[in-house]
Amino acid sequence: MRANPSPWTYIPSLYFLEGLPYIIINTVSVVLYADLGFPNDQIAFWTGWLYLPWTLKMFWSPLVDGHSTKRRWLLGAQTAMAAVFLLLAGLTTYNAFSYAQHLNNLTFFSLSLFGFLAGAFVSATLDIATDGYYLLALSAPQQGAFVGIRTIFYRLAMIFGSGILVAATGSLTNRASTGSWDIVAWPYNWALMFLFLAILFAAGALAHRFVLPQPAADGPAQAPGRNAWSDAFKTYFTQKNMLYILIFILFYRLGDALLEKIVPLFLLRGAEEGALGLSVQSYGLIKGTLGLGAIIAGNLAGGWLLGRYGFRKCIWPFAIILILPNFFYIYMAYARPGVALTAVLITLEHLGNGLALMAFSVFIMYISQGKYKTSHYAISTGIMALGMMVPSMLSGKWQMQLGYGPYFVLVAFISLCTLAVIPLTRKIKSIEETEKAFQTHKMHIGDAD
């Protein structure tokens, strides 16, 4: 291992492996359960609980801050993630056997949900360690330069997981055939997907063991005679303008929270249910090809614009771009467009999200400063997860009561509250102070040297 390797040698892979479990656990689980025939309200409610570890991670993030090194924590979490996916591969294989034997598959739903929940706790810990390591391994100018790169690879992982990986999994079997076209019999294809993920994380943990540098500052943050846990929370919740920070974090992505579980179901369910009836392959290809390019373009554009014009000038147009695609789903629910137009609208949604969510990433980074910056970042993302968890749990029941069209109308108008919280950002002094510090170092959020 070189003493000071370029961040290019490890930042992309670190954030790709950080983002992948999140999307598998919170979105691909929805596709899996939909493909296996579970009802919408059951899927949305129970998979909504999977946000819980990301909500609670703020409570154990000081333990990560105060014990051992971030490098050891993230390597351990990547290894544990490989074990979780191996467990899910075994459970899914059991479920496929149950289908073949006409057994009750509710046992699989319960066991796999606990498997996903265990993975969520590991993934939340991986988030804490990876983000903390980023803040310690990179200098202040490098942090500003690579914030766009890390966001791109995090989002690439999300598109890969919900797009390319799902499409590949669906292509392994042809549900319309009698089995002669199957590469892998349904639903064994899902077990193969989890096995691939287990191998990927095991290989990633092994590679990072040799590649990651060991920053001199990477050690327990706890000061002698002081409690790291209480210190981290006290310094976070006593910072200026805390109420405005909380409101912004909870409500900026409210529309996303209400759509996250329902959109995959809307795209995959049949026309007789008022949905679009895409195949698993089509769903994955749209997410993983056009969506992939759009998310990269959105992140790059967002990073460049934030670096050039600053957070305060960009946040208003970015917020409008974030909520605009919510109205696309009203059109799709009532017009039932073909696959081509659906692909265009979803691509535009990814482009807008890639652009707008860069501002949210920068917001959290700006308010996570000081000795406990790792814990502060984790607390912020935990609060965000709470804002995603509760609406997503309710979304399935509301959708089944209203139907897809009226539900999307309701979501579109609720999401307008995003615009109501934007003025609060002008009252948060730490944003202006941190942005000035970044400009002093001549940092450009969208570029990397």
Full 3-state SS string of 306-320:
HHHHCHHHHHHHHHH
Which token pair is 446?
Answer: 């969208």
In this predicted model, which residue has the larger pLDDT, 247 or 182? 247
For residue 169, pLDDT beyond 50: yes
CA distance 73 to 67: 9
Within 8 A by CB and 6+ apart from 96, the residues are: 185, 186, 187, 188, 190, 191
Query: Which range, 94-103, 106-115, 241-250, 356-365, is most confident?
Result: 241-250
For residue 1, pLDDT beyond 80: no
Within 8 A by CB and 6+ apart from 185, the residues are: 96, 173, 179
Which of 18-22, 68-72, 195-199, 418-422 has the weakest average pLDDT?
A: 68-72
Q: What is the pLDDT of residue 227?
A: 66
This prediction has a pTM of: 0.80
pLDDT band at 59 (very low <50, low <70, confident <90, very high): confident
**Which amino acid, one-letter code, is at 203?**
A
Radius of gyration, alpha carbons of the chain: 21
Q: What is the pLDDT of residue 287?
A: 76
Instruction: Report helix, strand or coil for 75.
Output: helix
CA distance 360 to 357: 5
Within 8 A by CB and 6+ apart from 262, the residues are: 40, 44, 395, 396, 399, 404, 407
Which of 422, 183, 209 lies closest to 320 in space, CA to CA?
Answer: 422
Q: What is the pLDDT of residue 438?
A: 58
Which of 360, 356, 225, 226 lies closest to 298 in space, CA to CA?
Answer: 356
Q: Which domains does the chain have, with CATH numbers?
A: 7-216+226-440 (1.20.1250.20)
Averaged over 376-402, what is the pLDDT? 90
Which token pair is 271?
Answer: 């026309």
189 to 98, 160, 195: CA distances (angstroms): 14, 17, 10
For residue 138, pLDDT beyond 90: no
Q: What is the pLDDT of residue 132?
A: 82
For residue 416, pLDDT beyond 60: yes
Q: pLDDT, tens digit, for every residue of 71-109?
A: 999 999 999 999 999 999 998 888 776 665 555 566 788
DSSP single-letter state for residue 369: -
CA distance 322 to 318: 6
Q: pLDDT, tens digit, for every residue of 264-316?
A: 999 999 888 899 999 888 888 887 778 777 878 888 888 888 888 888 889 99
Q: pLDDT, tens digit, for every residue of 25-48?
A: 998 999 999 988 889 999 999 999
Burial degree of 19 (CB within 10 A; 0-12, 13-18, 19+): buried
Beta-carbon count within 10 A of 36 CB? 19
CA distance 378 to 334: 40
CA distance 77 to 85: 12
Averaged over 168-178, what is the pLDDT? 74
Which token pair is 316?
Answer: 């208003």
3-9 long-range contacts (CB < 8 A, ≥24 apart) are 3/213, 4/213, 5/211, 5/213, 7/137, 7/138, 7/142, 7/146, 7/448, 8/448, 9/211
Q: What is the pLDDT of residue 446?
A: 42
CA distance 219 to 39: 47
CA distance 27 to 47: 9
pLDDT band at 447 (very low <50, low <70, confident <90, very high): very low
Q: What is the pLDDT of residue 226?
A: 54
CA distance 123 to 52: 12
- Of all residues in the chain, the percent with pLDDT exceeding 70 is 89
Q: Up-side HSE of residue 155: CA atoms within 13 Å toward CB?
A: 28
Averaged over 232-258, what is the pLDDT? 90
Averaged over 395-403, what is the pLDDT? 94
Averaged over 256-269, what is the pLDDT? 92
Which of 12-16, 221-225, 241-245, 329-333 has the weakest average pLDDT?
A: 221-225
Q: What is the pLDDT of residue 303?
A: 81
DSSP single-letter state for residue 141: H
CA distance 43 to 53: 18
Print burial letters for 174-206: b (CB count within 10 Å at least 16), e (below 16). Answer: beeeeeeeeebebbbbbbbbbbebbebbbebbe
Q: What is the pLDDT of residue 293?
A: 78
For residue 358, pLDDT beyond 50: yes
Burial degree of 274 (CB within 10 A; 0-12, 13-18, 19+): middle
For residue 396, pLDDT beyond 50: yes
Tell me the pLDDT of the chain averaged across its residues: 85
Q: pLDDT, tens digit, for every residue of 322-350?
A: 999 899 999 999 999 999 999 999 999 98
357 to 16, 230, 299, 322: CA distances (angstroms): 17, 30, 8, 8
Q: What is the pLDDT of residue 437?
A: 62
Are 364 and 131 in contact by the 8 Å Cβ rule? The answer is: no
For residue 370, pLDDT beyond 80: no
